[in-house]
Amino acid sequence: MSFASRAFAIASATPLPQAGVALAAFSFGNLATSLLPESWWAPTHIIGAVLGLTLLIPVLARHCIAIRSTAVRAALAADYRNPMIAPLATTMPMALITLGTYFARFGSAGLLCAQIIWWCGVLCIASLMMYFAWTFIVREFRLTTVCPAWLVGFVGILVAAVTSGTVGLAWAGHIIYVIGFVIDIIMLVLISSRIAWHGLPTGLRPTMTIYSAPISLLVASYFSTSTVHNPLFMLMLLTCSQLLFAFVAILLPWMLATPPSPAYAAFTFPLVITATALKNALIIFEQAGWQVPQWAYWLQIGETMLAGGMIVLATVTFVGIARQAIHA
């Protein structure tokens, strides 16, 4: 099989959730850089960009292939009609927005490029949110179709708020933060009700990890978009965020007991943003003159290492899926 044939086979069979691992890789690059000396900026971001693009490009290519391939188009259309999978499509523009922050460092031209990517990503996420709302809520709502992936579809736009400060658009990010705050609470209540009443299929167990993301996104968004931070408000958000992380950490062995599948993508970005949120909160506490206990810094390092390990695990899982596509 030629290289082109292999690439076509891989892209045609690439699951949408793979974009979530790409998002995690780009985000982890930013997180790791903030914890390492300045000299590590370039190598850390290069690794994050290469890994992220390697995972993201096949997902984007699948959409391009669908234009001409009837079979791929039918499979992709089925994904977008599936309420368990479709919301994960927002991870594509979320990943591109995060990748755009890598350019902000390179002068005015780089910042302009980052801002263009940011606005395009926001418009794309907003469009997908309207599609999800119309398709799965307005037209035909059933509580049994609600799942943790809906947090990604409806709350993922907060990634734009998290990155807005880096690209010089904190004012727009703050608007998204306020809107996202309301949607966040609604989605958490809705999804928790679904799980309480109807449980969750075994194959979707890993998606419970997404629970650690919504409040952590609010913490990181508040840090990025507000010029003046209230440490008590930050502490309240962080407490909720870390309690949800503790809940996920307790369930982690139970979730990892499920066979490797595209659902493993859920193990990645939620843990990255949780570690990022804790780092941001500790900065606010320091600036407020609070005495931050040493164990909090070790906890942040531990969360960062856990997130990195899960990215590796998910990447290996999707590499296995790609190999199956080649030999199919």
Is the per-residue pLDDT at 264 higher than 90?
A: yes
Q: Write the single-letter amino acid at 309.
A: G
pLDDT at 79 exceeding the cut of 90:
yes
Domain range for residue 127? Answer: 3-327
* Residue range 178-206, pLDDT digits in tens: 999 999 999 999 999 999 898 888 888 99
| Rounded distance between C-alpha atoms, residue 55 and residue 172, angstroms | 29
DSSP class of residue 187 equals H
Asked whether the predicted pLDDT for residue 263 surpasses 90, the reply is yes
Across the chain, mean pLDDT equals 94
Please give the Cα distance from 307 to 269 (Å, whole number): 8
Split into its structural domains, the chain has a count of 1
CATH of the domain at 296: 1.50.10.150
Q: What is the DSSP string of 105-124?
A: TSHHHHHHHHHHHHHHHHHH
Overall pTM surpassing 0.85 (yes/no)? yes
Q: How far apart are CA 93 and CA 127, in angstroms?
A: 11
Section 81-97 average pLDDT: 96
Look at residue 328 in the predicted model and tell me its pLDDT: 64
For residues 110 and 104, the answer to whether their CB atoms sit within 8 Å is yes
pLDDT at residue 11, rounded to an integer: 80
* Distance (Å, whole) CA 24 – CA 27: 5
